[in-house]
Amino acid sequence: MSAEVADREALSCSRPCTPPQASWFEFLLDPSLLEQHLQGPHPDPSPVQLIVQLLEQASKPSVNEQNQVQPPADNRRNRTLKLMALKAAAHLTWDLKVLEKGLTIPVLNMLLNELLCVSRVPPGVKHVDLDLSTLPPTTAMAVLVYNRWAIRTIVLSSFPEKQTKPGPHQLNMMSLVQQEKELTENILSVLKEQATDSITVLEGALNIKKDFYIHTLRTLDLLAADPSTANGETESSTAGLRISADHLHCQVHYDLGGIYFQQGCSDPSVYEKAREHFRMARELLTKLDSSASFCCVDEQRLAGYWSACKTLTGASDPSDSQHTPYGQISCFMRNHDYGLYIPLIYVCLCVLNDRDGALEEVCHKLCVCNAVRDALEGGVLGVSFHQLLLKPSKNTISFLLEVCARSMDKEHRSETCKRKMALFIKSVCNRLEDVSLAFMVSSHKLFMELLQDEEKKILMEQMRKSSATVNLSAKPLPSFYDIPASASVNISQLEQQLILSLDPLHIRQILIELQGMAERPFWRVNSKWEVPVDYVNVILAIKDNLTRDLVYILMAKGLHCISIKDFAHARQLFTACLELVTEFSPKLRQVMLNELLLMEVRGHEAGAAEGNMERPPPDLVSRVRGYLEMRIHACNVLHGTDLPLRQIVGEECVVFMLNWRENEYLTLQVPQSLVNSNPYIKLGQLIASTCKELPGPKESRRTAKELWEVVVQICSVSSQHKRSSDGRVSLLKQRASSLGILEVCNTNNNRIGTIMGKSYFCGLIDVFFISISQDDIVNEVTAEHISIWPSSLANLQSVDVEAVVVTLKELVNYALSLNPNNQSWLCTQADIYFGNQYSAAMHYYLQAGTVCSDYFTKSVPPDVYTDQVLKRMIKCCSLLNCHTQVAVLCQFLREVDYMTAFKALQEQNSHDSMDSFYGYIWDVTILEYLTCILFKEDPISDQHESAIKAIGQTELNSSNPEEVLQLAAQKRKKKFLQALAKLYF
């Protein structure tokens, strides 16, 4: 749950509600619940999700007494978890289509191997050596299901997959993804090696004419009760779900056809086998009951396979009528009868697209395609195409340019083809009477690439003359409204192309055309084109209008590309701008070099956020160092004091050095004059020094104190700062005051995030609250490394506490987005919400406990659930009116808080489940008090009965050994925390 969701939940209601989702361990505690859960209308989690959870728990490695990682133990717990996963798959009737969609290859491989194991498939024997007709029914079926999955997986893995762009994962998550990818590749390699055996096994199954049986929930229960009853051996051949031979053969034919079709890419002769299997699958499918759950053949894909096989093999089927357009086209293609093929395509397209008057558009598109083909083949353009160019629409010209571009996309196009295409485009431009459409062609990339400069110049001059020609013969004295608007239309279209284009040469060509039509500043065409304020005056001071517009637009477009992480186009635009300004302006040349450096830094950081953790190249690191030193020296010496330099470039260079742990440079090699003159470099040096000296607390306190003093100044309210309308000065509203702190928030260096991000501000708020209220412990905020900071805060009134709190929230939220399982950050987040959002605070306190105890299956370390944390949890529950939870939590303290527990049990208005929590109380004193007050209220109430039952458990007898009492307490602790987690998660 995100912080925003937790906020909304806290504001909407103070009483937490129990979500309906079941947890896997509930089925482990009571296996009878599984079948009831699966048979529900909408089980949550679904059977596929439940399989993943159960197998994940069953495959977790164990740790021995020497703290060594061991393979998963073969104990009763893990065997039960695997059996329940098989039951969930049996509930789905072993539908491979559903299982393949919801499970990864490693998980499904684990599930089916477990099926082979419980079905008593002889271990160590190849499946191809087994005689399926002599095996028990469910054993044979398990072998067939596994081998069907094997060849289906090989086929599916050959399909191209859409690559999803990963988000900002942490390192351990990327490691898990990489491990899963490697495991998947290993499994696929084994399946491909055994593909021939799998095909042989399935082809052998086609010779078996008797019915098959597959495991159900009932047969799996029989396995759990008595392994000797497995596979129908004690129930003849009727154990399990009956699968008719036709149903199985249909599915096997379909799967074998798929693997043969996939192999046909390397061996075309195999397509014959694929066609035969698909034919048998089609015939069997027409005879079978469509409601059968086991035979799950994708009929649409089967039809596609069948058509493809017929085309590839050249076979004809008398049952298929060739009166359909598709059938006739396929026949003409096989016979290479292109003379009839083209007209027939025309007819079919007309039939398919004759909706809402689309017939005319289809005819125009066909005419365009034929014209492009004739032009490339050196033929004469048809009369219909010339008639089309008399009054073409904008869509027609757009389609024409698209067809031309696609026809030239093929590699190694000869120079002859390119020249023919250039002549075709030139002829189109000459024949277009509408100048706006002619400009549309002339601004296309093919026009710019294929035509020679002299040809382009002549055509441009002709179009310019045509656009300037106004027919005044109709009226001797035309009014303003009678003058044609073709010129303005052309300008508007060129301006639109100028906005959309990202090609520097294209942008330059458009600007040349616009400058010839009108003299005005075209850098104002788009109000969203923005360049930094530091550069505006330098760029607008350029005397040549074309150069000024070009520099401004190239920089604005490049900055926009960086903002959307399109670094390829940004590099292209900035490089072109750099080449342009190098000829006349040393200042702008240095500006562009700085912006190129910032683009490279952001590009590398964006790659790191997406999982590419390769270190930056030495050249980039060297350029960053050079910029930081140039900021002082080269600025004044080479270019004078008026060189525009953006502060953000220096800040991000410092953050870049911190992110990639260039601490040696920041602490030792950076020139001292640079440190003294640049506050953000000074701040970066202090952060690097603190991180570097962190392993020794005593040694690091000196640099930590310096860092403390610097940032206290940043967070302090100065009398020189301008105040807002409400009289306050906010850190986030003053860029100079922030001094790059928020830039450091975005660092990927976990240690810097801990030192600078969380611990500093937590320490500052901690000291602040302690200074305000020495006795009220609930106002303290916990953090790591808090001991290295000073224990007091001088001049407390000058600190902008509001800004510190806002910054703290932003930092902790960002830290948790990088590492959501950091228990210390989770506790800090809980402390922040502890002020007034108690349900959200409980959520994060419990989440901190879950990440370090494997969802409370282990004890929570005492350094996580300290007495202070437990007291805050107690207060949260009290303010939420969950008083029974308060009483239970009082037992968790090192010294049981009987007074608070007794007071909570006396409360009449409790919003929790009350007696459902009595079973979690192990302290006999609290239980005795509880039974006493409940007896006074109503001796025959259900609550009193629950309390009597809780206190009457033999394991709580005070005469028991200490080990028994401790075990009873630990058992109740875990169950209680798991119950709370279900309430607050």
Tokens matching residue 336: 């290479």
The residues that bridge with 693 in the sheet, in sequence order, are: none
pLDDT along the chain (985 residues), means of 10: 47 45 68 75 80 82 68 78 84 84 87 86 83 84 89 84 49 58 85 89 87 84 63 51 85 89 81 88 80 68 83 62 48 45 44 49 78 81 78 85 79 76 85 78 81 78 58 32 41 85 90 84 86 87 89 93 90 92 88 90 78 77 78 45 73 78 66 63 72 60 71 64 40 37 44 49 52 45 66 68 75 77 85 86 92 89 90 93 93 92 88 84 91 86 86 86 89 91 87
The span from the CA of 6 to the CA of 311, in Å, is 59
Angle subtended at Cα 826 by Cα 824 and Cα 832, rounded to the nearest 5 degrees: 105
Sign of the alpha-carbon dihedral angle for 115, 117, 121, 124 = positive
Instruction: Determine the residue type at 205.
Output: A
Distance CA 689, CA 706 (A): 10
Return the half-sphere exposure (C-beta side, CA atoms, 13 A cut-off) of residue 126.
11
Say how far apart CA 141 and CA 537 lie, in whole Å.
79
Bridge partner list, 609: none
Tell me which residue has tokens 């990202």: 502
Dihedral class, residue 65 (left if φ above 0, else alpha if ψ from -120 to 50, else beta):
alpha
- Determine the Cα–Cα distance for residues 464 and 614; give it in Å rounded to an integer: 53
Give the phi and the psi of residue 69 in degrees, each rounded to 5.
-80, 130
Contact (Cβ atoms closer than 8 angstroms) between residue 871 and residue 48: no
Q: Do the Cβ atoms of 433 and 424 come closer than 8 Å? A: no
Spatial distance between the Cα atoms of 741 and 729, rounded to a whole number of angstroms: 17
Q: How far is CA 351 from CA 345, 346, 355, in A?
A: 10, 9, 9
3-state DSSP call for residue 891?
coil
Dihedral (Cα; 33, 38, 43, 49), 10-degree rounding:
100
Tell me the C-alpha distance between 709 and 711, whole Å: 6
CA separation for the pair 860, 821 (Å, rounded): 14
Query: Could you tell me the two tokens for 329?
Result: 């086209």
Task: Provide the pLDDT for residue 312.
Answer: 76
Pairing mode, strands 212-214 and 241-243? antiparallel
For residue 242, report the phi and psi dihedrals to the nearest 5 degrees: -80, 130
Q: What are 365-368's contacts with CB under 8 Å, separation 24+?
A: 365/399, 368/396, 368/399, 368/400, 368/403
Return the DSSP state at 103. S
Those residues whose C-beta lies under 8 Å from the C-beta of residue 576, and which sit 6 or more positions away, are 504, 505, 554
Residue 462's nearest CA partner among 494, 426, 420, 498 is: 426
Tokens 């400058």 -> residue: 515
| DSSP category for residue 241 | E
Token pair of 843, please?
């959520």
Q: What is the C-alpha to C-alpha distance for residues 969 and 920, in angstroms, rounded to an integer?
A: 8
CB 901 within 8 A of CB 815: no
Contacts (Cβ under 8 Å, ≥6 apart) of 911? 14, 15, 880, 881, 882
Q: What is the structure's pLDDT at 432?
A: 83
Q: Maximum Cα–Cα distance for the chain, whole Å?
A: 121
Distance of CA 472 to CAs 434, 489, 710, 861, Å?
A: 18, 19, 76, 93
Q: What are phi and psi of 304, to 5 degrees?
A: -65, -45
With the C-alpha atoms ordered 951, 955, 956, 960, is the resulting torsion angle positive or negative? positive
| DSSP of 128-187 | GGS-GGGS-HHHHHHHHHHHHHHHHHHHHHTS--PPPPP----HHHHHHHHHHHHHHHHH
Q: Which of 179, 177, 168, 174 minimizes the C-alpha distance to 816?
A: 168
* β-pair type (241-243, 69-70): unpaired
CA atoms within 13 A on the CB side of 212: 26
For the record, the structure tokens of 800 come out as: 């902008």
Beta-bridge partners for 242: 213
| Nearest-angstrom CA–CA distance, 195 and 258 | 13
Q: Are the C-beta atoms of 38 and 47 separated by less than 8 Å?
A: yes
Cα–Cα distance for residue pair 721/730, rounded to 1 Å? 10
**Do 467 and 486 meet the contact criterion of CB atoms below 8 Å apart?**
yes
- pTM of structure: 0.45
Structure tokens at 896: 């049981």
CA–CA distances in Å: residue 236 to residues 122, 136, 230 = 20, 9, 11
Task: Tell me the C-alpha distance between 548 and 554, whole Å.
Answer: 10
**Strand, helix or coil at 242?**
strand
C-alpha–C-alpha distance, residues 332 and 338, integer Å:
7
> Per-domain residue ranges for the chain?
24-243, 325-465, 504-680, 859-984
- 764/710 Cα distance (integer angstroms): 12
Q: Which residue has the tokens 């990327």?
A: 174
What 3-state class would DSSP assign to 808? helix
Going by C-alpha positions, the residue among 112, 122, 123, 58 that lies closest to residue 90 is: 112
- Which residues does 610 contact at the CB level (< 8 Å), separation at least 6? 165, 166, 167, 168
Chain centre distance of CA 639: 46
φ/ψ of residue 716, rounded to 5 = -90, 150
How far is C-alpha 106 from the geometric centre of its chain's CA atoms? Answer: 21
Q: Which of 956, 951, 934 is nearest to 943 (CA)?
A: 934
The distance of Cα 860 from the centroid of its chain, to the nearest Å, equals 31
Tokens in use for 395? 């869509």
Burial class (CB in 10 A: 0-12, 13-18, 19+), 184: middle
In whole angstroms, how far apart are CA 70 and each of 113, 419, 851? 21, 70, 21
Q: Which residues contact 150 (CB under 8 A, 6 or more apart)?
A: 191, 194, 195, 198
Rounded CA gap, 222 and 86, in Å? 13
